[in-house]
Structure 1
Amino acid sequence: KLARKWGGHGRYGVVSAYGSFHGRTLGALHATGQPAKWEGFQPLPEGFRHVAWNDLAALEAAIDPSVAAVLLEPIQGEGGVHPATAEYFEGVRRLCDERGLLMIVDEIQTGLGRTGEWFGFQHFGVEPDVVTMAKALGNGMPIGACWAKRDVAAVFQPGDHGTTYGGQPLAASAARATLEILERVNAPQLAERAGAEFRHLLETVEGVVQVRGLGLLLAAELAVGLDAKAVAADLLRGGLIVNAVSPTALRFAPPLIVSETEIAQAVDLLSAVLADHLSKA
């Protein structure tokens, strides 16, 4: 809504990436670059188009005078934990500046310390125009927020946007307390240190062929023949919660205060489960 109001009549398009995930309400669903999730909810709102991830040329080719904004994640979480490159985000920022577009960064999964920076875009040295966040903001209390540069935010006038419970005192108080604690414990530093240890151990596990991600948002790509969903189910039975973010990859997003002992226990369990699956492959 903010991008459309800012763009004005005739400039309503939003370009996002295939493999992205931005939500399940109708507009956010169409922004999500996963066509399989669209089925059953057609027709979706118009104005969204999708391009290949990390492909600046494809993005540039998709921009025409009807486009108002580009919407991207710093790391495609639901898409398999695929980080953007610095070159890509720098190029997107340059394109948006040249064409007069908003650069919107979805930090709902990556924001507030998880990647080793307060926000994922900070890894790439760019400054977006709009940032969305939620999840960690309330530490379990439902709350979301949207940042925008002052001149962009100013296009919203009273009555343009609102929610029944938006800004309600309980959720806002929970968010304030959460932010105070995240700052006190230096959440990005915790995620960076624990993530480095976790990545190192994951890379030693037989059956893991690649580890990708940033901080404490990681994915382990499994060897050919291993079924990530079946592995995740066995890990759950062993007491470790992960998800099969693709048919061949497991996503790990532990608490930011995870200990070295807990990381070692998780990797030991993963090693045992993968060894069992490899013996049957």
Structure 2
Amino acid sequence: MGKLASECETERARTLTKEGISMDSEKVIKRDNEYVLHTYNRNPIALEKGHGLYAEGPEGQKYLDFTSGIGVNSLGYCDLTWAEAVSEQAHKLQHTSNLYYTAPCGKLAKKLCKRTGMNKVFFGNSGAEANEGAIKAARKYSFDHYGKGRDVVITLVNSFHGRTIATLTATGQEVFHNYFGPFNEGFVYTTAGDIEGLRELVDRHTCAIMLELIQGEGGVMALDPEYVQAVRALCDEKDLVLIVDEVQTGVGRTGTFLCCEHYNLKPDIVTLAKGLGGGLPIGAVLLNEKTAEGMGPGSHGSTFGGNPVVCAGANVVVDRMDQSFLANVSERAVQLRAGLAKLPMVKNLSGIGLMVGIEFFGGIQAADVLAACREKGLLVLTAKSRLRLLPPLTLTAHDVEKALGILNEVLTEMEQKAPKEQA
């Protein structure tokens, strides 16, 4: 399969040359700006191909990528085993719909259930879709056991659960709510860490509490373990469904397969997406026995959910997450965090594992650091006022040192320009 992919790429290049088409950065960007809806503030670079932790532009520019497509490319760019599994499945059967059975879907579901201790899986196409499914399953459980009117979901201020209308409403950040009302009923918000405030919100209309254990878009802030256990106890006391959104934290990102493992937490529903597909779109709702039993035929659906090509890739990702792999994630996280703590202008670090937030002293803006890193060949992210790092989980000690070297250059230059009191 690797040889076939190489031959196809060579033939494509010949065709483009014959047609006189130049895929240089300027043309790629110009065409995109002309025809693609401008809902993204794109970086002013075009990416054409990638391998491992490195992406390349049309003119040969190379970038060490510490974003992994916002946590998606868990095995880096174009992992050979992953690419061959996807290619092989695409040559056999690319889609059937959920009116029929396919082996890759069932294999993936079994692996996820065995790995997490959950009972059933529903597959969709994104984190937002997974969270929609989780909300529906929680409300269905409550309706079946308590009747109509018990449908309110409590989420946290600073949370982010998606951009559909329901998951946007679930998102506890007003900045994302601008322009798009009216919003769905049935969501209220509480401050992370305030268990008494949460308890006061729970009433006869409450059906579920929904958490991110690390608030990614909210600034890469991890929840306090005692608070999380108190939420679990409250859900048990009131028979509420506990939903944990692991769209960004799941599938090895924090050094364990689920971030829940760091908290010794057993949710009723867990949502996954991003890194599960290794680069292809997937969402998964993992349900325990009590929340799964009410979701029968017709209660939910997704045309592309469980797509065999996507599941073939996801099976490779899950298979790769053995003890040795996760040990390397934890080791590289320790190395990265220790190195970051020594850099100039770094005030503090947040997150768990390879989900890292960096706060800088006064005058240093994360967006400026991002731009300067990009110019030196390092791709990073931001989350509110923090720089955010989500490198592929396959990174090596050398990759970490190279990224630290670039960050050190950038921050040293900024320190020299910053007023003394800011440092």
TM-score normalised to the size of structure 1? 0.96
Looking at structure 2, the residues matched to 212 and 189 of structure 1 have their Cα atoms a distance apart, in angstroms, of 20
Determine helix, strand or coil for the equivalent of 2:155.
Answer: strand
Q: 1:250 maps to which residue?
A: 387
> Does the 8 Å contact 1:76/1:82 carry over to 2?
yes
- Of 361, 376, 401, which residue of structure 2 is paired with 1:223? 361
TM-score computed with the length of structure 2 as normaliser: 0.65
For residues 182-216 of structure 1, the C-alpha deviation after alignment (integer angstroms, 9 at most, x for no partner) is 23x74322221110000000000010011121111
Residue type of the partner of 1:79?
Answer: G
Aligned counterpart in structure 2 of residue 76 of structure 1, from 215, 233, 240: 215
Return the index of the structure with the highest Cα Rg: 2
Structure 2 contact 142–150 (Cα < 8 Å) conserved: yes
Deviation of 1:269 (Å) = 1.0
CA positional deviation for 1:101: 0.2
> Which one is further off, 238-247 or 196-205?
238-247
Aligned partner of 2:190 among 48, 51, 54:
51
1:170 aligned partner, one-letter code: V
Whether 1:103 and 2:238 are equivalent positions in the alignment is no
Matched, 1:261 2:405: no
Aligned to 1:21: 160
> In the aligned structure 2, how far is the partner of 1:244 from the partner of 1:176?
30
Of 302, 318, 325, the residue aligned with 1:187 is 325
Matched residue of 2:343: which SS?
Answer: coil
- What secondary structure sits across from 1:151 in the alignment? helix
CA RMSD of aligned residues (A): 1.1
Cα offset for 1:54?
Answer: 2.1
3-state SS of 2:378 partner: coil
Decide whether the 8 Å contact of 1:85 with 1:124 is kept in 2: no
Output aligned runs, 1:1-281, within 5 Å: 1-8=136-143, 9-183=148-322, 186-247=324-385, 249-281=386-418
Higher helix share: 2
Identity in percent? 38
Cα distance per residue 1:7-62 (max 9 Å; x no partner): 11111110010111111111111111111101111011110111111221221121
Please state how far the C-alpha of 1:126 moved relative to its aligned partner.
Answer: 1.6
Matched-pair contact (CA < 8 Å) for 2:357–2:389: yes
**After alignment, is 238-247 or 24-33 more displaced?**
238-247
**Distance in 1 between the 2:329 and 2:157 partners?**
27
CA contact (8 A) 1:112 1:188 kept: no
Paired residue total = 279
C-alpha distance 197-29 of structure 1, shift in aligned 2 (>3 A): same
Are the equivalent residues in 2 in contact too, given 1:112–1:187 (CA < 8 A)? no
Deviations 1:88-113 (A, max 9, x none): 11000000000110110000100011
Q: Which has the higher contact order (CA 8 A, sep 6+)?
A: 2
